[in-house]
Structure 1
Amino acid sequence: MQKIIRWFMVVYIPFFLTGCWDQRLLKEQKIIELIGYDVGSKGEVVASTSYPIGLGSSGNLTSSSTTSSKSTILTSRGETAGDSLLQEDLKISEKIDTSKTQVILFGERIAAKGLYQELDNIYRNPKGALGAKVAIVQGRAMDAIRLKQVEADLNGRYYDEFLKSGVATGFYTDYNVQSVCPLLLKHTKDPLLPLIKIHSKGNRAESVGMALFNNEKMTGKLTIPESKMFILLSGAIKQNVSFLVKTNHRYQQNQLNYVIVEILNSRPKTKLNVKNGAVTANLALKLQYRIREYPKNHLTSPLHLEQLNNEIKVGLTNTAKRTISKLQKANCDGFGIEEEIKVHHHRLWEGKYKNVAIKEIPIKVDLQLELLNSGIIN
Structure 2
Amino acid sequence: MRRGCPVVIGLISLSLVTGCWDQTLLKDVRLIIGLGIDEDADGNILDTFVLPDVTNQKNTPQVISVTGHTARETRLNLGKRLNLVPDGSKNRFVLIGEEMATKKIYTILDVFYRDPKSALNAKIAVVKGRAEAFMKKEYEIKPNLILNLDKQIVSAETASLVPNVNIQSICTTMFDPGQDFVLPYIEHGTEGAVVTGIALFNSQTMTGALEGRDAIICLLLANQMGKRAAITVPAGTSGKTGSFMTFQVFQIKRNLQVWMEGDEVFANIDLQLKVKVEEFAEDHLVDRERVEQLNARITKELNRNAQEVIRRLQQANCDIFGIGRRLIAFHHDYWKKTDWNRTYPHIKIQPSVMVEIARPGIIY
Q: 1:368 aligns with which of 349, 354, 358?
A: 354
**Out of 215, 225, 231, which is 2:219 matched to?**
231
The whole-number CA distance in structure 1 between the counterparts of 2:95 and 2:326 is: 31
Q: CA, structure 1 residues 317+289, in 2 after alignment: closer, same or farther (shift >3 Å)?
A: same
Residue 341 (structure 1) aligned with residue 327 (structure 2): yes
CA contact (8 A) 1:188 1:355 kept: no
Check if 1:293 corresponds to 2:279: yes
Would you say the 8 A contact 1:240–1:262 is kept in 2?
Answer: yes
Report if the CA contact (8 A) 2:159-2:230 is conserved: no
Distance 1:376 1:149, change over 3 A: farther
Letter of the 2:114 counterpart: R
What is the match of residue 218 of structure 1? 206
2:157 maps to 1:167 = yes
Which residue of 2 is the match for residue 328 of structure 1? 314
State the Cα distance separating 1:299 from its structure 2 match: 3.6
1:275 counterpart residue number? 261
Query: Counterpart of 1:48 in structure 2: which amino acid?
Result: T
8 Å CA contact 1:317–1:366 kept in 2: the answer is yes
Instruction: Tell me what 1:63 maps to.
Output: none
Indicate how the Cα distance of structure 1 residues 330 and 6 shifts in structure 2: closer, same or farther if over 3 A, else same.
closer
Q: Aligned-pair distance for 1:152?
A: 8.2
Q: 1:288 to 1:96 in 2, by over 3 A?
A: same
Asked whether the equivalents of residues 49 and 145 of structure 1 are also in contact (C-alpha less than 8 Å), the reply is no
Paired residue secondary structure (2:321): coil
Instruction: Give the partner amino acid of 1:276.
Output: G
Q: Which of 169, 181, 185 is the equivalent residue of 1:195?
A: 185
Secondary structure, counterpart of 1:54 in structure 2: coil
Specify the SS of the correspondent of 2:20: coil
Task: Report what 1:64 is aligned to.
Answer: none
- Distance in 2, matches of 1:268 and 1:212, equals 21
Which amino acid in the other structure matches residue 271 of structure 1? Q
Shift of 1:214: 0.5
* Alignment match, 1:34: 34
- Matched with 1:59 is none
Q: 1:141 to 1:27 in 2, by over 3 A?
A: same
Point out the more displaced range, 6-15 or 271-280: 6-15
- CA drift of 1:343 comes to 1.3
Q: Please identify, of 335-344 and 234-243, the stretch whose mean Cα deviation from structure 2 is larger.
A: 234-243
1:352 shift after superposition: 2.9
Matched, 1:315 2:306: no
Percentage of pairs with the same residue: 28
- In structure 1, what is the Cα distance between the partners aligned to 2:340 and 2:220? 26
Once the two structures are superposed, residues 15-45 of structure 1 have per-residue CA deviations (whole angstroms, 9 ceiling, x without a partner) of 5332432222211111101000011112111
Q: Does 1:87 align with 2:73?
A: no
Measure how far apart 1:110 and its partner are.
0.5
Q: Please list the CA deviations of residues 53-91 of structure 1 after superposition, one character each: whole Å capped at 9, or x if unmatched.
A: 1244xxxxxxxxxx4522111110111222212111111
> How well do the aligned residues superpose, as a CA RMSD in angstroms?
2.4
CA positional deviation for 1:326: 1.0
Distance 1:95 1:17 in 2: 28
Task: Compute the displacement of 1:291 (Å).
Answer: 2.4
CA displacement at 1:10 relative to structure 2? 7.5
Q: Is the 8 A contact 2:49 2:64 kept in 1?
A: yes
1:354 shift after superposition: 4.8
> Deviation digits for residues 287-338 of structure 1, max 9, x if unmatched?
1122222222244444433322221111111111111111100000111110
Partner of 1:62: none
- Distance (Å, rounded) in 2 between the aligned partners of 1:328 and 1:208: 20
Q: Which range moved further: 212-221 or 264-273?
A: 264-273
Separation of aligned partners in 2, 1:247 and 1:10: 75
1:240 and 1:265 in contact (8 A); partners too: no
Q: CA 1:95 to 1:255, structure 2 compared with 1: closer, same or farther past 3 Å?
A: same
Contact 1:338 1:353 in 2 (8 A): no
Task: For residue 101 of structure 1, give the secondary structure of its aligned residue in structure 2.
Answer: coil
Matches within 5 A, 1:220-259: 220-247=208-235, 249-250=237-238, 254-259=240-245
1:6 and 1:120, CA in 2 relative to 1: closer, same or farther beyond 3 A?
Answer: same
**Contact persistence 1:82–1:118 (CA under 8 A):** no
Aligned residues: 363
**Equivalent runs, 1:12-23 vs 2, <5 Å:** 15-23=15-23
**One-letter identity of the residue aligned with 1:16:** L
Q: Judging changes above 3 Å, is the alpha-carbon distance between structure 1 residues 94 and 288 closer, same or farther for their aligned structure 2 residues?
A: same
Contact 2:202–2:317 at 8 Å: present in 1 too?
Answer: yes
User: Which ranges in structure 2 are unaligned for 5 or more consecutive residues?
Assistant: none
Amino acid at match of 2:306: A
What residue in structure 1 maps to residue 251 of structure 2?
A: 265
Shift of 1:286: 0.9
Distance 1:86 1:306, change over 3 A: same
Kept in 1, the 8 Å contact 2:199–2:209? The answer is yes
TM-score (norm 2): 0.92
